[in-house]
Chain A
């Protein structure tokens, strides 16, 4: 057969298309326990289950926010958590037209013989875990591969290894009814210019789609979560229109129209930067046969986190901040974002952490 077909084919196609609904995007709330700990420590909140539950509940119960989201990526713990009233998060999301997703990778490990390049783990027993997650209500999955730009990086080994891992993960997900989000993140770290980033992104994406095709993945039932094409973190910034031009061209050169949507990662851009770049991408007049939307973690949660500071009395303030970012990014997917009048604290703060691991 040309590509995978199984009992979930129609559902995969429908769910992937739904996630790409114009005006909606994904909230990436799948920080592992360790990573959410880092977030919490920045606002002096203890990293315990009740706090983790409380923060996610804050996000999911923000009045009016869920209509801007087509999906939320969860960490395994969160998939089984409930609101204070006892309603499973998964049910809450589904009732509001939001598909629950699940992070399924098990983090990165270094590739011996390279200069700090990595591969992503998590294939062992993946089918069984995905089936369990499907039963729990998840309908899409995410797996983050990481590549970096350096004098000799990304190496062909790193590209091949990460592309292959993504392809194996993708087909296993489809066998279990989960739409795989394919995420080959090329870190922004470095002093390279935007042309170099474009070059590497195109190479990596070409390898990813070759691997997906070789593994018989049904492209109509997948999503791509790439980095935007930007200069390195140590290089001067460029205008959003330039980011848009390079980013869309890279996708035109590599991503088949069969893939319904791109859900960009924010990768250390500030909340406002990420929104403005996404807006520019959607305003660009050129061939774009896929939806171009967001799958933001830090860039949706930063100012919310700061406003909350772990205190119940800050609930409304925090939810207002979250709603603002959701609405802004929703407008950005339509190219209608006007820019923030006044930014809440943290919205323009760069979220770049060198050599980010999570």
Chain B
């Protein structure tokens, strides 16, 4: 992973497996003088990738994740009594993406493919709405989780086939970062196979993304499910991130042009003791300090079923002293829950719903700066959103 714009001489990797044998020194079978394979690392896009990653990882801002697949979006809509139609999905996303002043607290928005190509009812492209607010549009590029054969009931994430051309198309449409979510389950082990597959898939996706101008968000979600203590989560998280970074390096991914989306290190959802934000911060920062090279510009935590307020408090606790990387949020449910409840699908509630979004976004912005206080939060904000065996 040498510097971006230089041709990387990869001779050190001896790309021919088994090329070196005891006969190597006999000139007869030796290849012509020094074999070098030129590999262009993140060629044309490296400067842009670094710039995009830095923009997303700007102080006081984080990511709004609204990349729910149609099926999952359907669940959200039905929770407020709406049918899962394109019109309704468009209306909901419009509400979110046209919130005035959103760019003050939000630096990036992850979209589902459908949304990337949608416009407001006035005909303005969603990507343009975002651009105007200095919010970078991003795109979910994975094709979901499927059972992993030979594992202990675990999953793996699909989506590498055709990823390069899809990514190039998304870039043309205006996306500048991508996201791929794979999962690891502690109750199921995790098995070494599942961890390896999760890490390798992420590494391949990251390399392909960078090659096509998209900053890859690297997301191996360690699911909240389970009754394990926080020490066990730390152990698994360290293992997972060690593999992830090693494979990212093997795939020659440029670390200055990626972002991470980890789960915080917490006890399992069914563990008898809850952990305080300070404890969660301590364990999570320990994990990050042990595993994340400082070259990575930003770490955008997922909320994974925590309540809106929990997610904010925990983020705040992590930002009480300077970190070598921007430590922020990439929240979906933890930003949208109150919004949905306020909207209820009614046009007359749009303004109030947008205010609710701004309010949550602002709270998390303050948390990113380490200045959040929980006074005045609503009861709804405190409600946990853990769903056992959550799939989306």
* Contact A198:B2 (CB < 8 A) given known A1-B235, A253-B295: yes
Q: Does A32 contact B (CB under 8 A)?
A: no
Tally chain B residues at the interface, Cβ within 8 Å: 42
Chain A interface category by residue count: 35 or more
Q: Does B172 contact A (CB under 8 A)?
A: no
B249, A202: Cβ atoms closer than 8 Å: yes
A196 to B36, CA, bound (A): 12
B20, A257: Cβ atoms closer than 8 Å: no
B286 to chain A, nearest CB (A): 8
B242, A199: Cβ atoms closer than 8 Å: no
- Residue B324 contacts which of A152, A198, A220, A257 (CB distance < 8 angstroms)? A257
A256 to B19, CA, bound (A): 34
A153 to B13, CA, bound (A): 8
B293, A151: Cβ atoms closer than 8 Å: no
Contact digits for B225-259, partner A, Cβ 8 Å, 1 yes 0 no: 00000010011001100100110011000010000
Q: Does B3 contact A (CB under 8 A)?
A: yes
Chain B residues whose C-beta falls within 8 Å of the C-beta of A287 in the assembled complex: 294-295, 324
Q: Does A149 contact B (CB under 8 A)?
A: yes
A199, B12: Cβ atoms closer than 8 Å: yes
Chain B residues whose C-beta falls within 8 Å of the C-beta of A112 in the assembled complex: 22
Contact digits for B1-42, partner A, Cβ 8 Å, 1 yes 0 no: 111001011111110000111101100000001111000000
Nearest CB in chain A to that of B246: its residue: A210
A200, B12: Cβ atoms closer than 8 Å: yes
B8, A199: Cβ atoms closer than 8 Å: yes
* Contact A202:B20 (CB < 8 A) given known A154-B12, A210-B246, A257-B294: no
Q: Does A114 contact B (CB under 8 A)?
A: yes
A289, B246: Cβ atoms closer than 8 Å: no
B259 to chain A, nearest CB (A): 15
B34, A219: Cβ atoms closer than 8 Å: no
A257 to B294, CA, bound (A): 7
Q: Which of A199, A203, A206, A249 has the most CB of B within 10 A?
A: A199
A206 to B291, CA, bound (A): 11
Q: Does B371 contact A (CB under 8 A)?
A: no
B8, A203: Cβ atoms closer than 8 Å: no
Q: Does B72 contact A (CB under 8 A)?
A: no
A153 to chain B, nearest CB (A): 7
Chain A residues whose C-beta falls within 8 Å of the C-beta of B36 in the assembled complex: 151
B291, A256: Cβ atoms closer than 8 Å: yes
Q: Does A62 contact B (CB under 8 A)?
A: no
A202 to B293, CA, bound (A): 11
Chain B residues whose C-beta falls within 8 Å of the C-beta of A200 in the assembled complex: 12
Q: Does B292 contact A (CB under 8 A)?
A: yes
Which parts of B193-218 form the interface with A (CB within 8 Å)? none
B3, A198: Cβ atoms closer than 8 Å: yes
Chain B residues whose C-beta falls within 8 Å of the C-beta of A156 in the assembled complex: 13-14
- Residue B6 contacts which of A1, A195, A252 (CB distance < 8 angstroms)? A195
Which parts of B275-318 form the interface with A (CB within 8 Å)? 286, 288-295
- Residue B9 contacts which of A2, A196, A202, A257 (CB distance < 8 angstroms)? A196
B3, A151: Cβ atoms closer than 8 Å: no
Chain A residues whose C-beta falls within 8 Å of the C-beta of B21 in the assembled complex: 113
Chain A residues whose C-beta falls within 8 Å of the C-beta of B12 in the assembled complex: 149, 153-154, 196, 199-200, 203
A273 to chain B, nearest CB (A): 23
A213, B238: Cβ atoms closer than 8 Å: yes
B20, A155: Cβ atoms closer than 8 Å: yes
Chain A residues whose C-beta falls within 8 Å of the C-beta of B324 in the assembled complex: 257, 287, 289
Nearest CB in chain B to that of A202: its residue: B1
Chain A residues whose C-beta falls within 8 Å of the C-beta of B24 in the assembled complex: 113, 115
A151, B35: Cβ atoms closer than 8 Å: yes
A220 to B291, CA, bound (A): 12
Chain B residues whose C-beta falls within 8 Å of the C-beta of A153 in the assembled complex: 12
A1 to B229, CA, bound (A): 12
Q: Does A83 contact B (CB under 8 A)?
A: no
Chain A residues whose C-beta falls within 8 Å of the C-beta of B19 in the assembled complex: 152
Which parts of A238-258 form the interface with B (CB within 8 Å)? 246, 249, 251-258
Nearest CB in chain A to that of B324: its residue: A289
B235, A253: Cβ atoms closer than 8 Å: no
A155, B14: Cβ atoms closer than 8 Å: yes
Q: Which of B239, B249, B286 has the most CB of A within 10 A?
A: B249
A89 to chain B, nearest CB (A): 35
A256, B20: Cβ atoms closer than 8 Å: no
A196 to chain B, nearest CB (A): 6
A256, B289: Cβ atoms closer than 8 Å: yes
Q: Does A77 contact B (CB under 8 A)?
A: no
A291 to B289, CA, bound (A): 15
Nearest CB in chain A to that of B1: its residue: A202
Q: Does A234 contact B (CB under 8 A)?
A: no
Nearest CB in chain B to that of A287: its residue: B294
Known: A203-B249, A219-B290, A257-B294. 16 other contacts (CB 8 A): A115-B20, A152-B35, A156-B14, A196-B9, A199-B10, A206-B245, A206-B250, A213-B238, A213-B242, A252-B294, A253-B1, A253-B249, A253-B293, A256-B293, A257-B324, A258-B289
Interchain residue pairs with CB less than 8 A apart (9): A2-B238, A114-B20, A149-B12, A152-B14, A252-B293, A252-B295, A253-B255, A257-B289, A287-B295
In the A-B complex, list the 5 residue pairs whose CB atoms are closest, starting with the nearest.
Answer: A151-B34, A252-B295, A199-B2, A213-B242, A206-B249
